Amino acid sequence: MPNVEKVSVSMTPQHAELMRDAVNSGAYASGSEVVREAMRDWSAKWMQKREDIAKLRAMWAEGKASGPATEVDFDAALEEAREELASAPPHAR
């Protein structure tokens, strides 16, 4: 397998047993295969989490740049939102 780096991974006995079970069941050819799949899944989650954090930071910066905070009557804002939702076409809800 090209471009492979060997690393040592420690895991709980329960995780090791699950990995051995997955290999013994024939679902995976080796423990390395199990770990590679786990890393692919984790990588996708990690990238999504990083994107989400970046979006939140951008929204936070946008909010701070929009000017000073103003008081809002929450009940009035909620009622206004309900009215807008009620008057929206059915396909837009």
Tell me whether residue 32 is in a domain.
Answer: yes
What are the φ and ψ backbone dihedral angles of 7, each rounded to 5 degrees?
Answer: -135, 155
The pLDDT confidence band at residue 92, using thresholds 50, 70 and 90, is low
Q: What is the dihedral of CA 55, 57, 59, 64, to 10 degrees?
A: -170
Tell me whether residue 61 is in a domain.
Answer: yes
Whole-Å CA distances, 76 to 52, 61, 73:
30, 26, 5
What is the pLDDT, as a whole number, of residue 88?
Answer: 85
Q: Is residue 2 pLDDT above 90, yes or no?
A: no
Q: What is the pLDDT of residues 8-39, one digit of tens each?
A: 999 999 999 999 999 999 999 999 999 999 99
Q: What is the pLDDT of residues 37-80, one digit of tens each?
A: 999 999 999 999 999 999 999 999 999 999 998 999 999 999 99
CA angle 49/32/4 to nearest 5° reads 80
Q: Is residue 81 pLDDT above 70, yes or no?
A: yes
Tell me whether residue 19 is in a domain.
Answer: yes
Tell me whether residue 93 is in a domain.
Answer: no
Give the length of the chain: 93
Domain range for residue 48?
A: 13-88
What is the pLDDT, as a whole number, of residue 46?
Answer: 98
User: Count of domains in the chain?
Assistant: 1
